[in-house]
Chain A
Amino acid sequence: MSEAVLRERGPLARIGLRSGPEARAPNLMPYLLAAPLILFMLAFYAMPVVAMLMRSVSDPTWTVANYATLPDDAVFLKTFANTFYTSLIVTLVSLLLGYPVAMALVRAPRWAPIILVLIMLPFWTSVLVRSYAWMVLLGRHGLFNEALIAAGMIDRPLRILNTPLATQIAMSHILLPYMILPIANALRQIDPSLLRAASGLGSPPWRTFLQVTLPLSMPGVAAGVLLVFVLALGFYITPAMVGGPREITISMLIAQRVDQLDWAYAATLSAVLLATALAIIGAFYRLPGVGNAFRMNAR
C-alpha cells in the first residue's frame, strides 16, 4: 500500500506523466533522478576509459597482437612481477602490524579513542603528503640515518630512499588502516560470551585466540587482505616518489608509455591491470562472509 501511495502521489503523477495507481508500467521517477549522474559518468568517465582500453585491440589495426606479445615482453614481465611482489609484501606486513592494533582497538575500550585518532591521522592525510613524510625520514640526511649515525651504529648514511625497501615501508604505512578497520569490524562482531565460555572451560588465552578469535575474525582478515592487495597493485605516486628507479610498478610503466604516446601499449597494460584487480575481487567475494565484512565497512 505504501509503495502505491508513494507512486501514485509521486512528483511525476503531479506533472501528468503517470496515469494512476492501476498502471503497472515501471515507475520512471527513480530513473529520472539517477539519469543526470549516469549520463555524466558515461560521458566523462566510462566512455573515456573504454575508448582508451579499446586502443589495445584497435591499434595499429584490429588485432590481439598487443596481448599476444606480452608473455615474451621482458619489461612487462619484470614490472608485473615486481608489482605483485611489492603488493604481497605490503599485504603481509599490513596484516602482521594491523591485527594487533585491531585487537587493541576492540578489546581495550578505554584506549580506543586515542588508538582511533592515531590510525585516522595518517589515514586522512593525502598519499602525496605521506609519501613526502617518508622522503623526509628515509633520505640520505633523513631522520633515520641521522639517528643511526648519532647512535654510532653506522658511519655512512644507508641508502634506503629510492630503493624497493622504501616503497614497501611507505606503502605498508599508507595501506595499514585499510587492514585494521575491517579486522576490527570482524572482531567487534564476535559474541563476547564465546570468549568467556572458552576461558570458563579452562582454555588459556593463547588457545582461545587461536581457536575462537582468529577463526571468527577471518572474514575481516580476508576483506583487509583484499583491500590492501588490490589497492597496492594500482599504486603510482608512492613508488614514483620513494621507490627505486629500476623497480617500477605497472602504473608507472603505463604512465611512462603514455608520455611516449604509446597508447596501444599503455591501454594493453591498463586492461591487464584492471582485469587482474577485478579477478582478485571476484575470487575473494566468493569466500564466505567477505561480502558482509565489506557491507559493515561501508558505514
Chain B
Amino acid sequence: MTGLGMMGARILPATVVGLILLFLAFPILVVIVVSFSSATYLTFPPPAFGLKWYDAYFGSADWLRPTWLSIWVAAAVVVVATLLGTLAALGIARLPRAARVVVAGLVLSPLIVPGIVVAIGIYYAFARYGLVGSPVGLIIAHTCLAVPFVVTSVSASLAGIDPRLEQAALSLGATPRATFFQVTLPLIRPGVLVGALFAFITSFDELVVALFISGSGAVTLPRRMWDDLRFQIDPTIAAVSTLTIVLTVALMWGAHLLRKHAERQVTKQA
C-alpha cells in the first residue's frame, strides 16, 4: 500500500470515530458551558461567563433541601446496601450451585426488570406500608436497586482470592474470625468500596422510583430537577447538573482506579 493510501485508510476512520466521540461527549460539555453563562435564558455560546446560576442554586433553600436529602438518603443506602450486599456475597460464594442460581437471580434481578415495573410495584406496596413520602421509604427502595452492584463487585473480588491464603491462615492457627478480618476482608476491601460507591451513585441519581414514592415529604434532587423541567429550563438546572456530573464522575473515577488497583494486586498474586 502506498503512503498516501495508508494515510487515507487511517484518516477516514479516525474522522468518523472522532465525530461519534464528539456526539457522545458534546451534550455533556454544552451543559457544563451553559451553567457558567451570564444570560438569563438558555443561549449558546453564552454572551459572557459568570457564576450567576451557581449563586442561584446555592442561595435557594428549594434547591439545597432536596440536595441534602439526596445526599443523606444515598449515604444511608451505602451503609445498608454495603452491609447486606457484602454479607450476602460472602454467603452466595459458598452456596451449593442450585441455591446460588436462585439467590443470585433474586438479588441481581433489579438490573433486568424494567425500572417502571420495579417503581410501581414498590409504590403499590409502600403505599400500604405507609412508606410513601418518607426518606425511610426511599432508603429501602434505593437499597434494593443498589444491592446488585455491591453483590457483583464483592463477588468479583471474592472470586479473585487465592483460597490457599485463607487455608494458610487457618492451618497456622488463626481463628475463623481472625482469618476473616485479617485475610479475607482486606482482600475484598476494594470490591466492597467499589460496591459502596456504586450504591451511592445509584441512589443519588435515581429518579423513576422517587417519582412515585417521594410524595411531597421527601423530594430528592433528581425529583426537584424533574419538577422544574416541566415548567422551565433556566440555567439553574445546568449548574445543578454540572455539580452532579462532577460528583458522579469523581466517584466513578475513584471506583475505576480502585478496581484497576485490585486487578493489579490479583495479577501479582497469581
Contacts and interface: CB of A to CB of B under 8 A. Distances in A.
A34 B91 contact: yes
A263 B156 CA distance: 40
Q: B interface, how many residues as a size bin?
A: 35 or more
The interface residues of chain A, by DSSP majority, are classed as: helix
Interface stretch (A67-75, A185-193, A215-223, A228-236): A228-236
Contact of A36 (B31, B88, B96, B117): B88
A1 to B, nearest CB: 9
B20 A5 contact: no
A159 B186 CA distance: 56
Q: A interface, how many residues as a size bin?
A: 35 or more
A124 to B, nearest CB: 4
Interface stretch (B51-59, B60-68, B162-170): B162-170
Contacts, number: 249
B116 interface: yes
Contacts of A281: 112
B56 to A, nearest CB: 16
A37 B244 contact: no
Contacts of B72: none
A38 B106 contact: yes
Contacts of B248: 124-126
B88 A33 contact: yes
B28 A125 contact: yes
A217 B229 CA distance: 41
A132 B31 contact: yes
Contacts of A104: 13-14, 17
Given A30-B92, A205-B9, A237 B208 contact: yes
Interface of A: 2, 5-6, 9-11, 14, 26-27, 29-38, 40-42, 44-53, 55, 97, 100-101, 103-104, 115, 118-122, 124-130, 132-137, 139, 141-143, 146, 173, 176-177, 205, 230, 233-234, 236-237, 241, 251, 254-255, 258, 263, 266, 270, 273-274, 277-278, 281, 298-299
8 contacts: A34-B92, A47-B125, A49-B118, A115-B21, A118-B25, A137-B27, A139-B233, A258-B212
Sorted nearest first, the 7 A-B pairs with minimum C-beta distance are A33-B91, A234-B114, A48-B125, A49-B121, A34-B91, A133-B27, A37-B88
